């Protein structure tokens, strides 16, 4: 990239990722091999990088991306820019104009770049002025296309603005098809942005302005899904969801075209199957899914609508799990991935089954596929980190956990796991900084308070450690680690009876061998040898004991028996 510092127009009128997409396109032209390693995220952000690819809207997805996907895209794009920046031989300044009027996707990516590029010879100038590309005055047709693209890409803030703009241009009286497209598109975006109550109002409005059967059928199904999934937990209502599904199905059965009638009916019945499964009736849900697959297969040509078939089979896999049949669920997921090999969700689900069956390598491979296709799916990084940790690969686990937190700083489980990994390798300063960063986002989180207590204990501050363990237990009285570690502090201070009381709570909550071993040690200190022996024997009966712990338990048990013989 040579010449004068380029300026990039970030105004939201030019759509999601305005400005930053131009930067990525320019870098990709200079570094095609580097771009190939980031193909998935670059294609999502700057689709013109792949002129042979169909647009997102053309692909007609049956599943919309979660709103948080844009954070993963920003992470991947930032890694791409950072890799390019690392090859620069002289400083470069990148100027972005109209940042104050940028779309949320652009601002998110610019924030990510600003946080990552400080170590490289790249300066960012973020301005609210500068030359602007002229914005085209949109027609309803162009707005509808833009809305479809934004929804399919998961760019919901832009989709919501576009839907509102479109609704301001047309009325149901003069252009019902466009008005409905803008209304349902806006509702979809709002539901994804956790504004489902406003989305519900839009569907009620649609029913007041038209009795068009296709619109009222679609509105009924969408209303059902809001009550089933998207409204705040207190407002979700399975009975109302089932009522609106019945309305949608009644209208679907009146569709004159036989093929479309089957497609609509089967699709809506999947909502009923979801409710049945949640209501503890998986057998009934399975019958609906099996029947739907049979009817769908009968009207589809070979190879037609593979994603629809995959979705139904995925539903069936979930029901098999509810029925306690993981092998059939796994077989079903293998078929699902054959139908729709680019859906990251399916690999995450299959990885969970592989892990449960002890096939860790297969699980890691599937999480890798999910990360590639997601792209950078935090859930897959986190799950892979857990697998690495279970296999003793602490360095790889740390790398994956750091990626999770780079994408989702508020991912509490990843924060706790990473802090504990740092603690395990003796990096107390790093562990404490991570724990305090987590507590800034989740004040009084018991697991993080417990970790801080361990750090205080390691640093020779038993009083500070005990106070932190007690705070953790006030927030979560079932936190076994806090009971166990507070007991250790009290034991070391000579408060053995208090330590036993804490360990009684830990043993009541967990069958793990360590609390029993610790309690046995404390009981032995009190000369309660018979009780200590029972704890050591019970701990020895635990499966998969660590070799050194097994040796210590046998030695302790033998000592107890000598004392009581």
Average pLDDT over all residues of the chain: 94
| pLDDT band at residue 6 under the 50/70/90 scheme | low
- The span from the CA of 183 to the CA of 206, in Å, is 8
Out of 132-136, 163-167, 548-552, least confident range: 132-136
* pLDDT score for 45: 96
Which residues are bridge partners to 93 per DSSP? 123
Rounded distance between C-alpha atoms, residue 191 and residue 197, angstroms: 8
Select the more confidently predicted residue: 563 or 61. Answer: 563
**pLDDT (0 to 100) of residue 131:** 67
Parse the chain into domains and list their residue ranges: 7-126, 512-565
Confidence of residue 137 (pLDDT cuts 50, 70, 90): confident
Q: How many CB atoms lie within 10 A of CB 478?
A: 13
Phi-psi region of 302 (alpha: psi -120 to 50; beta: other; left: phi over 0): beta
For range 543-555, the mean pLDDT: 92
Gap between the Cα atoms of 389 and 396, Å rounded: 8
Residue 187 has pLDDT above 50, yes or no: yes
- Compute the distance between CA of residue 79 and CA of residue 217 in angstroms, rounded to an integer: 45
| Residues 101-105, mean pLDDT to the nearest whole number | 97
Q: Is the pTM of this model over 0.85?
A: yes
What pLDDT shows up at residue 3? 44
375 upstream amide cis, omega within 30 of 0: yes
Residues 6+ apart with CB under 8 A from 210: 172, 176, 180, 216
Task: Report residue 130's pLDDT band, with 50, 70 and 90 as the boundaries.
Answer: confident
Query: Of 41-50, 100-109, 153-162, which gets the smallest average pLDDT?
Result: 41-50
Selection from 269, 211, 282 nearest residue 242 by Cα: 269
b/e map of 2-35 (b: 16 or more CB within 10 Å)?
eeeeebbbbbbbbbbbbbbbbbbebbbeebeebb
Looking at residue 447, what is its pLDDT? Answer: 95
Measured distance CA(126)–CA(234) in Å, rounded = 42
Averaged over 228-255, what is the pLDDT? 96
Return the higher-pLDDT residue of 68 and 2. Answer: 68
Percent of the chain with pLDDT over 90: 92
User: Which pair of tokens denotes residue 429?
Assistant: 């300063």
Angle between helices 196-209 and 176-192 (to 10 degrees): 160
Tell me: pLDDT of 557 over 70. yes
Residue 42 has pLDDT above 70, yes or no: yes
CA distances from 217 to 60, 157, 169, 450 (A): 19, 26, 24, 53
pLDDT of residue 55: 53
Cβ atoms of 347 and 382 within 8 Å: the answer is no
| Mean pLDDT across 534-557 | 93
Using pLDDT thresholds of 50, 70 and 90, give the confidence band for residue 52. Answer: low
| Of the candidates 520, 503, 510, 505, the residue with the CA atom closest to the CA atom of residue 554 | 520
The set of long-range contacts for 145-151, using a CB threshold of 8 Å and a minimum separation of 24, is 145/57, 146/15, 147/181, 147/182, 147/185, 148/57, 148/185, 149/55, 149/56, 149/57, 150/15, 150/16, 150/189, 151/57, 151/64, 151/185, 151/188, 151/189
Decide: 240 and 253 in contact? Cβ < 8 Å.
no
Give CA–CA dist 48/71, Å, rounded.
21
Q: How confident is the model at residue 337 (pLDDT cuts 50, 70, 90)?
A: very high
What letter would DSSP give residue 97?
Answer: E
Which residues face 7 on adjacent strands? 95
> How far from the centroid of its chain's Cα atoms is residue 52's Cα?
30
Give the chain's radius of gyration (CA, Å): 29
Using one digit for the tens of pLDDT, what is the confidence trace for 434-489?
Answer: 999 999 999 999 999 999 999 999 999 999 999 999 999 999 999 999 999 999 99
The number of CA neighbours under 13 Å toward the Cβ of 346 is 26
Q: Could you tell me if 469 and 498 are in contact, meaning their C-beta atoms sit under 8 angstroms apart?
A: no
pLDDT at 4 (0 to 100): 44
Mean of pLDDT values over 80-100: 95
Residue of higher predicted confidence among 274 and 132 = 274
């Amino acid at each position: 990239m040579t010449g004068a510092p380029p300026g990039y127009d970030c105004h939201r009128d030019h759509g999601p990722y305005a400005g930053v997409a131009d930067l990525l396109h320019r870098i990709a032209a200079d570094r095609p091999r580097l771009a190939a390693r980031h193909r998935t995220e670059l294609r999502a952000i700057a689709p013109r990088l792949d002129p042979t690819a169909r647009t997102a809207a053309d692909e007609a997805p049956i599943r919309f991306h979660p709103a948080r996907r844009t954070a993963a895209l920003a992470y991947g794009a930032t890694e791409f820019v950072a890799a390019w920046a690392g090859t620069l031989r002289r400083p470069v300044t990148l100027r972005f104009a109209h940042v104050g009027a940028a779309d949320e996707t652009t601002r998110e990516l610019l924030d990510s770049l600003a946080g990552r590029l400080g170590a490289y010879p790249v300066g960012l100038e973020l301005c609210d002025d500068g030359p602007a590309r002229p914005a085209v005055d949109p027609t309803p047709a162009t707005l509808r296309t833009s809305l479809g693209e934004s929804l399919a890409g998961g760019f919901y803030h832009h989709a919501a603005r576009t839907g509102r703009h479109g609704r301001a241009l047309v009325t149901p009286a003069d252009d019902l098809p466009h008005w409905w497209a803008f209304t349902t598109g806006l509702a979809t975006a709002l539901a994804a942005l956790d504004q489902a109550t406003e989305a519900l109002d839009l569907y009620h409005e649609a029913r007041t302005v038209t009795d068009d059967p296709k619109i009222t059928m679609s509105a009924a199904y969408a209303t059902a899904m809001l009550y089933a999934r998207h409204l705040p937990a207190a407002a979700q209502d399975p009975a109302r969801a089932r009522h609106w599904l019945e309305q949608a199905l009644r209208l679907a059965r009146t569709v004159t075209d036989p093929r479309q009638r089957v497609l609509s009916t089967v699709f809506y019945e999947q909502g009923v199957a979801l409710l049945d499964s949640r209501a503890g009736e998986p057998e009934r849900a399975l019958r609906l899914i099996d029947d739907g697959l049979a009817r769908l297969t009968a009207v589809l040509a070979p190879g037609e609508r593979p994603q629809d078939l995959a979705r139904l089979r995925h539903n069936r896999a979930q029901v098999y799990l509810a029925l306690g049949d993981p092998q059939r669920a796994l077989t079903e997921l293998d078929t699902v991935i054959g139908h729709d090999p680019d859906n990251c969700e399916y690999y995450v689900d299959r990885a969970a089954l592989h892990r449960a069956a002890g096939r860790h390598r297969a699980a890691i491979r599937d999480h890798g596929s999910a990360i590639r296709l997601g792209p950078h799916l935090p859930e897959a990084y986190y799950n892979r980190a857990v697998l690495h940790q279970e296999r003793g690969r602490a360095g790889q686990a740390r790398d994956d956990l750091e990626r999770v937190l780079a994408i989702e700083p508020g991912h509490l489980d990843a924060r706790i796991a990473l802090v504990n990994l740092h603690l395990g390798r003796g990096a107390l300063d790093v562990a404490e900084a991570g724990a305090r960063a987590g507590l800034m986002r989740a004040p009084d989180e018991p697991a993080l308070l417990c970790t801080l207590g361990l750090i205080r204990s390691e640093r020779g501050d038993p009083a500070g450690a005990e106070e932190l363990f007690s705070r953790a237990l006030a927030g979560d009285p079932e936190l076994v680690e806090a009971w166990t570690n507070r007991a250790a502090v009290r034991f070391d201070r000579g408060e053995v009876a208090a330590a036993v009381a804490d360990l009684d709570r830990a043993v009541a909550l967990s069958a793990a061998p360590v609390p029993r071993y610790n309690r046995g040690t404390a009981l032995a200190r009190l000369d309660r040898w018979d009780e200590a022996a029972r704890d050591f024997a019970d701990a020895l009966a635990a499966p998969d004991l660590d070799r050194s712990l097994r040796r210590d338990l046998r030695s302790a048990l033998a000592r107890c028996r000598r004392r009581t013989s």
